[in-house]
A and B are shown apart, each in its own frame.
Chain A
Amino acid sequence: MKWENYTTYPSSFKDDKVFDACGISGFINTDGKIENGAKVVDMITCLKDRENGLGAGFAVYGCFPDQKDDYCFQMILNDMETKDGVKHFMEKHGKVTKEEPIDVDVEGFVSLNPPVLWRFFYQPDEDKTMGNDDDFIMQLHMKINDGFDRNAFVMSAGKNMAVFKGNGWSYEIADFYKIRDYEGYMWLAHSRFPTNTPGSWFGAHPFSLLSWSVIHNGEITSYGTNKRYLEMFGYKCNLLTDTEVLAYLFDLLIRRHDIPPTIATLAFNPPLYDTIEKMTKEQQIVVKNIRMAYRSAMVNGPFSIAVGSVIHDDPTLITLTDRKKLRPQLIGESRDGKTFFVSSEEASFQRLMISEENHAEITNVWAPRAGMPFIARVGTGLLRSGKEEPFEKITLHVDEYPPEVSI
């Protein structure tokens, strides 16, 4: 897929003032209540000043309850011929249980120049996966992205979740994919202001792998280091955008290496050594070991991200900013304490509060500390508010102290 074939500059991009930012929004119903996409569309479209019409996307969790055990491949394809090729390739390793075109409003948005958008429900063969379906699907995901001469890209390939993204304003993408018709307990939305790379269909956020989907505002200046590090573990970065490394890093550290999210985020945002000096001895050992083991997983540059995931079968929303909080992020809590909202600007919360049909009563708004994760999980509720100290509420068990060296 040639990105220039799929890049359109909206007319208002030329005469409107351009701002430098991306918008992120999302929410999680920790009681598992299913809601349609109308709220998240309202939240992201009111951040119009943060985007320039070169990419937007949505992620929804819990949208296919009837087929929740099948991997749902949401595909961006150049033409129908490629679609047949991809299907043939997938069927070599498993069974396509259902396929359908993604329901889009093509007539209404001809100007977006949309590619073929297709959905496969998929079950890998047991003898191919060797008991680890997730690893197999991850490799399949990489092979499809890499193997079809840039004509086929996977938007998402998780269970009971889907990503919808494209090159346009957020309100266009929302109407194009009919986002309001889908229902889920967790929603993420992103509107893009591309800085270093072109706006394109496959380069829009969220970036997804398995059940991970990442929306990001900022820049990952350590992209090269992270990319080379991830290549050692079989991840291929070929979407021309820095954010994809974050999706793969979360998959590597939290799913494959089974590190708790609070510790994994310390690997992305390791404390400075003068901060480490002031910690207790156990904490110092932990943080220094993380710094050494995951040196190349450190994420540098300004960023504010929200990550949707399913960790050990529990849908979880994680948000994170860089160590100096160079990009904005706010968390809102509903009056009943069951729904948590995240956004770049408080305006998104205000938008829901004044709305009649998509009303939400958000009573508690706070800004998480720089570099500290906010974590909320369906079933358990709020795990970390983001206002804690790095090791608050965490018990450390350090069995072996490093040998004392004396000269």
Chain B
Amino acid sequence: MHKVKDNINYDAGHKVVTIDASPNRIPIKYQVLNEQIHQILNEGYKHIKLINVVGQRFIGAALSGDIRLEVHGTPGNDLGIFMDGPTIEVFGNVEDQAGNTMNGGDIIIHGSARDVTGLSARAGNIFVKGNGGYRCAVHIKQFRHKRPVMVFGGSVRQFFGEYMAGGLLIVLGLVIKEDGTFSVMEGNIVENAIGTGIHGGMIMIARPKEEIPCHFLGVGTKISDPIEPDMKDLEKVLERYSQIFHVDSKELLEMDFSKITAISRRPFASNYCSRSL
């Protein structure tokens, strides 16, 4: 594996290290880039800025601790996979499977997320300014204080939160501009099979429940109006979201939300084992 070193720029005053992921405008292999990130972290730096990222995969894989990664460009598949604690801020769109099986930390995306974002997440936050793709937040779960939270500023596609067993998902259905002003999207902001096979957790959609066609709801889900504790929960998350993207949190909370949850405590109990158990 060839080593590239000229692409690292140490800015000692600000304690920020910049890595050019495409020195001489040619993208380096993802193995090399991730190796360089590890080296810099081993040297004690906590803040890394990656520029000219061109589809390098697994950025931030399995990192833990108080680390901050800034990504300029388009990170490749599996951004922040197995991550446990760091913050990754992406100035652009991401590719598929961002936040795959993440166990903690924040992924902030100033663009759109693609398919299968946040699959199997165990905890941590994913804040997306734009839209999500197909099968976002599939198979997420929570345990005690470990609870994944994902907010999509725009719309999401089919199979949102499929098989989810915990966590909080929010779809805002907005077009958020650079300056923080926003307009409400026209048409449906979710598609069919929302939360199919759900066991636990909560999906909040910024539309009144009458406006969500009932055939969009997945197997084992029910739709209702949020109650007081749900709104408090929502408030905390949206407070944070609005700080990140400079949106007025009051305006966000004024929208009508509907809540999608599992139809019962164990909706599929009879599918897996006999009732006598």
Contacts and interface: CB of A to CB of B under 8 A. Distances in A.
Interface of A: 46-49, 274, 278, 324-325, 328, 330, 345-351, 354-356, 365, 367, 369-370
User: Is chain A's binding surface mostly helix, strand, loop or mixed?
Assistant: loop
User: Is chain B's binding surface mostly helix, strand, loop or mixed?
Assistant: loop
Contacts of A324: 134, 158-159
Contact of A370 (B76, B93, B96, B134): B134
Given A345-B76, A347-B54, A350-B73, A355 B158 contact: no
A275 to B, nearest CB: 8
Interface string B210-227: 000001000000000000
30 contacts: A47-B55, A48-B29, A49-B30, A49-B55, A274-B215, A278-B215, A324-B134, A324-B159, A325-B115, A325-B133, A325-B158, A328-B96, A345-B74, A345-B95, A346-B55, A346-B74, A347-B54, A347-B74, A347-B76, A349-B74, A350-B55, A350-B73, A351-B27, A354-B73, A355-B25, A365-B93, A367-B115, A367-B133, A370-B134, A370-B158
A278 B96 CA distance: 31
A328 B135 CA distance: 12
B110 interface: no
Contacts of A356: 25
Given A274-B215, A347-B27, 20 more contacts: A49-B30, A49-B55, A49-B76, A324-B134, A324-B159, A325-B134, A325-B158, A328-B95, A330-B114, A345-B74, A346-B93, A346-B114, A347-B76, A348-B55, A350-B55, A354-B22, A354-B52, A354-B73, A355-B25, A367-B133
A44 to B, nearest CB: 12
A346 B95 contact: yes
Contacts of A330: 114
Interface residues of B, number: 25
A354 B158 CA distance: 33
Lowest 6 CB-CB distances: which A-B pairs, in order? A347-B55, A350-B74, A346-B74, A325-B134, A350-B54, A347-B54
B139 interface: no
Contacts of A48: 29
Interface string B31-65: 00000000000000000000011110100000000
Contacts of A365: 93
A302 to B, nearest CB: 12
B53 to A, nearest CB: 8
Nearest to A343: B55
Nearest to B29: A48
B157 interface: yes
A355 B52 CA distance: 10
B215 A49 contact: no
Query: B57, B74, B133, B215 — which one has the most chain A CB atoms within 10 A of its CB?
Result: B74
Interface string B91-111: 001011000000000000000
A347 B95 contact: yes
Interface in B140-175: 157-159
Contacts of B77: 345
Nearest to A366: B112
Contacts of B133: 325, 367
A324 B133 CA distance: 11
Query: A48, A325, A356, A369 — which one has the most chain B CB atoms within 10 A of its CB?
Result: A325
Nearest to A275: B192
Contacts of B30: 49
B158 A46 contact: no
Query: A274, A278, A324, A350 — which one has the most chain B CB atoms within 10 A of its CB?
Result: A350
Nearest to B56: A347
A328 B115 contact: yes
A347 B52 CA distance: 10
B157 A46 contact: no
